[in-house]
Structure 1
Amino acid sequence: MSTSFFSVVRRVARLFVPLLGVAALLPALAAAPAGTVIGNQAAATYSDGSAVVRTVTSNTVVTTVQQVAAVSVVASGTKTISIGGQVYYPHTLTNSGNGTDSFALSATNGGGFTFAATLFYADANGDGVPDNNVPITSTGQLAAGQAFRFVVAGIVPGTAVAGASNTMTTTATSGFTPGTTGSVVDQTTITAQAVINATQALDVTSGPSPSVGSRTLTLTFTNTGNTTATNLTLTELIPAGMTYVAGSARWSGSGATVLTDADAADGQGGIVYDHNVTAANRVTAVIASVPPGGSGTLSFQVTVNAGLPAGAHAATAATASFSYHDGATTVPASNTNTVQYVVLGAAVVSMTGATVTSAPQGGVVNFTNTITNNGNATDTFDLSTLTSTFPAGTTFQFFQADGVTPIVDHNGNGIPDTGPVPAGGAVNIVVRAILPPDAAGGPYGVVAKATSSADPTKSASAPNTLTAITASTVDLTNNGSGAGAPGYGPGPEAVAVSTATVASGGTARITLVVANGGSVADSFALRASTDATFATTTLPSGWTVVFRDASGAVLDNTGVINSGANKAIYADVTVPAGASAGATQLYFRAQSATTGAGDTLHNAVAVGTVRSLALTPNNTAQLTPGGTTVYTHMLTNTGNVSEADGVLSTGSLGVTDSAPGFTSVIYWDKNNDGVLDAGDPVITDLSQLVGGTNGANTTPGLAPGKSARLFVKTSAPAGATSGATNITTLSAALAGVNGGAAAPMAATATDTSTVIVSQVTLFKTQALDAGCDGTADTAFSPVAITSGAAPGGCIRYEITATNVGPVAVTSLVVSDATPAYTTYSATVPASATAGTVTAPAGGGRGTLQTSVATLAPGASVVLRFGVRIDP
């Protein structure tokens, strides 16, 4: 019997471990093997200030399951033996702990007599007979759940007397935990009469289900006593997983003669034999006599049935019994050794994919796939994607069936996997595709793959199809939005929908309305041109178009417009003095840089010394603490005289930052490549604008209508906090009288920088709760737990979600799930500092969540729960 509770709580978890040493059985392993890494990662979804649903994941915490020793030894035997003889007891030792171990073998005996010696021998094929005459003292290393067959031999001294009895206790001691032992007791009685010893063997001890052909069971019997044994009765109940082969029985006393199966009374030359007559589904043989020193065999065949689970189990374990008359009395029935047919594991997996009808540009697509373990053993399946026709920039992730808990690696190979799936079981996973914002059309497909961890040559794949990515839309109109507004619908229109009038040298303000018809928030670049196709962006000589928002800020992008919302933009069109009378066709365009969605609106502008500089646009960006960002601006001479040549006028550039620690520097894109590079100089004076290719500057300063591209490089301090905002103001100022006109007001542009890490952050910690009382034994930490986490123990988790952004988030859902090899522990129920908590039933598996309607900036919510490591 075993001294550990592991002997009664087992399950198959590693059915493809090869036989080690002389061990004969595949493992029936404790549920959480030693060294198993229990990995867990939380996730949260929320709606940000733009009503965009976002997902964030936590750090991963891991716990390593500790080894616990346990051993069982079976089965007790009772035999008779002659004085001076040798008695053999076959036993099976099983490592019922959760890690590799070795076991020392020892025996104590006494009673009416003491054995002259006790010896142990390996019995790899389980036939009850030593494999050789080399004694052993240890099993050698056994994997968790692995069995070891051996024989204990007791040598009877010549001084023993008939009727005396001996009690022998065989003990197996764990090498990993010497205090852990298992033992079995055998009873031996001395007799002067006949002594029958019977063993049995199976010709092939492992293979598939069903077996390839029939298997032969052979019972061997020997009379080592002093008198003739009569009425030797051999019986064997055919195990449930085997089927008797009719007409297969043979007896050594009659050679190749077939023994009849269906008659329980026909003498066949010294033997009466039947199957399924004396007892249902049982072989019964009565051998008339066995003389002293005589021996023989009885054999018959069975087939192994189909559909059996992998491993060693009762359905394929056969134990015979024998009784006889020893010349003085009938010896009660004793059992032979048990022979075991081990069903080898076979990995078979199938997988089904999914089809999703549509998704928006830049959206998220969830495909629910079902993976079915069609093999005969518990298996874990690695997950990957194969061929994909999705647009470049699409990323793929795997989630549990709840769609919010990321799938992690459970078997230690670095690949996300399903965790253990029992034979015949199925598990749903979610294949998530995160679409790029600039792709549309379809259909698109990706093939997901599940690969057996037990046999990596076995895998299954399934196609997942997205029928279409729906294109985002935008509508550009005058003075209003929706049907009836001038320019409603796709443009450009054949005829101008609105005409503005302006005096020579004056400015006309045209009201534009940009409506976002897409399903997600987006921003749109603004352009003006006399070319309806915008193959070139051209304006009449001396004309300028400056876009402004309601506050008057100059911009070239609408900024974020929520789905279904619109924003008014003002286009200030300035014509030079002396401009010709007549109408000029002018086109405006709003286009998304992410999705490519755009619309063109057809307007018209019907027409002396002016000084003016324009500095556009105003920009916004995000950067990390200690990071930098580069803003691009265009400085344009919108007047009709040259400026800042150092003679007619002078001009300077300046930059200021509103937040402490932020710094900004101005560069000129001298080579006009649109990228800040080593050849672009730092600039503070407009007279430095000479010699470059930007606007073909051949003289210092800016000629009328000419522009210079400027870069403002802004750096955040390393200690900047998330949500910190800095406004960089770029200014271009003219001085002096030029052409009789005084200097205009300085042109300015602003760049708004926001420091972010993530608007909502998740941080996960864990602590050991070895006694499963719901109270953490240690402080919570993200550090891996590498000791003390034994099967049956618990782990406590804390997940903290913090809004580090400057605005409240809504519809926050913090999600986690019970990891593989664990169940939910409800000793102390799951709780949260805010929101509504849902959890599985105690002892169940699944998703745990807390749902919070609103989380203010700087606020946090903590989800707490515990799991129990499978015992």
Structure 2
Amino acid sequence: MYSGIDLAVGASVTITFDVKQDPNVAPVNGVINHARVEDTLDSGVTIIDSTNKDDAAENTKTYYPTDDDTEYTNTAEPGTKGGDSAAALEVNKRSLTISNGVDNKGTSKEIAVDGTTIFTNTLTNTGDAPEGGTNRPITIKITDPDGKTPLGIITDTAATNRPSYKLANGTTGYLEPTSTAGEYRLPISVIIASKGTVDIIYTVKSDGTGALNKTENNIVTITPAGNDPSAPAIATNTTTIKGLTLAKLQVLDANCDGTAEGTFVNTAIDAEPNQCVIYKIDATNTSTTALGFDITGLTILDPKSKFAAAADYVAGSATTPGVPATNITTAANDDGTNINTTITTLSPQSTATLQFRVKIKDAPK
């Protein structure tokens, strides 16, 4: 209660105070916190005015002109001279969360050297009030730490190349860019009801220049605005470049009978004229079984020009040891220019091998 306030004719006074929600009582919207003003005149008469039309103590009708004191609810200004207005309290718990992988440790994906991958983070309204729209707009910032090199978020002025959203009912659309680089907003037409969700979707593309195992993190930050917004929600998405490695190894076959003498090495070996060398080329898909991808239509070849000056290909020696016949598109062969084979599918962490023999010439050049 405030008392002892003197007001000159035409003057006004504003009284402000805070209302704290009892955590043990469920919030209820529509409650009106009414105000009462009492003024004791010099004549000794006390005039009591209230914003509550049901306040039995109010006596303004005795002293005010007829219908001059009318009570209004949820209006900015009273509708009549001498009238009063009061607004219902809106009690809301605002809260937004964003999916952030298993155990909130972020989402990880693997991408081919020249591939693309799509990330989806689900935004959930865990509060009790709608989010989005004009009154509670939501911005989404997606960091791209190195620009578009070698991993970049696909985005430009064309709407179809921007990050997008998908509502629970299947409705899709594109995020709207703000004046800040890498920042977008949900269109004002998108309202997320309490317990509702919306997917935030964007694509990462590799430009083909990145080394294997290059990793980049995108930070997705969801920032609500409006009255009493909740704290920003943050997710981390990690992209790692994976792909194909090739290893060419050799071993001596002194009797040219296909029997290796020792183990395959990637260093120089000694071979005399009319002895043979067994070559093998191992192609390995470095992507992981959990996150990886198949490499399809893989051709492994070795140009004959690489060894033709010193050795001759041993006809019929080309094989693909360990590769099932059902996974071979083109059997190992000599096409006159290359020793080659084509593997149908190389699954994550798998290796396909092309193996063949050459015979050292009598007078190698």
Give yes or no for TM over 0.5: no
TM-score, normalised to structure 1, is 0.19
Give the structure, 1 or 2, with the largest relative contact order (CA under 8 Å, sep 6 or more). 2
TM (norm. structure 2) is 0.41
Answer 1 or 2: which has greater strand percent. Answer: 1
| The structure with more radius of gyration | 1
